[in-house]
Amino acid sequence: MRLLLLFLLNLSMVPAWGALQESFTATTLLFGFLLSFLLLSVLHRGYARSVLGVFGYLLFLAWSIVVASFQVAGYVLSPQLKLDQGIVAIPLTVRSDLEIAILASSITLTPGTLSVDVGHSPTGERVLYVHSLVMGDPEALRRTLQRDFEQRILQITRGEK
């Protein structure tokens, strides 16, 4: 929540900067954004790391969507449809509702996977159930989703590595 408020403050400083300049151009607005970004980074520790982490995650997610789109297209267009569908339970390290929602949404946005439910394992551990078109090794899918998605989300929300 704090990150969102700081980012909104960063954005609100941009038109103020543009109004103080002789011309209201894209370059002036970009410079205003960068200047206010630097100012907020100095005044609030971790702001720059968090904002850059969010943009990095969005780039990673976009790349994952593109790669998965080509993989799913390859499966669909192949002469012999070799789908190995299944549902796997992924133990969650993320705890807050926001973190779980970001993880589930990111997985669902990636073609070939779908977040089905959040529940509890027989041992009482919180798990996310994910359907995959091509399961392969369930443990490998579990590790990949935890490493690629969950750990990146934790880096942004908690600063964990």
Crossing angle of helices 47-77 and 26-43, in 10° steps, is: 120
pLDDT digits (tens, 9 = 90+) for 36-86: 999 888 888 888 888 888 899 999 999 999 999 999 999 888 888 777 899
Contact of 90 with 124, CB cutoff 8 Å: no
pLDDT digits (tens, 9 = 90+) for 80-95: 877 789 999 999 999 8
For residue 7, is pLDDT > 70? yes
Please give the share of the chain, as a percent, with pLDDT higher than 90. Answer: 45
DSSP codes joined into one string, 71-84: HHHHHHHSSS---B
pLDDT value, residue 122:
86
For residue 141, is pLDDT > 70? yes
In 44-137, which ranges are continuous DSSP H helix? 47-77, 97-109
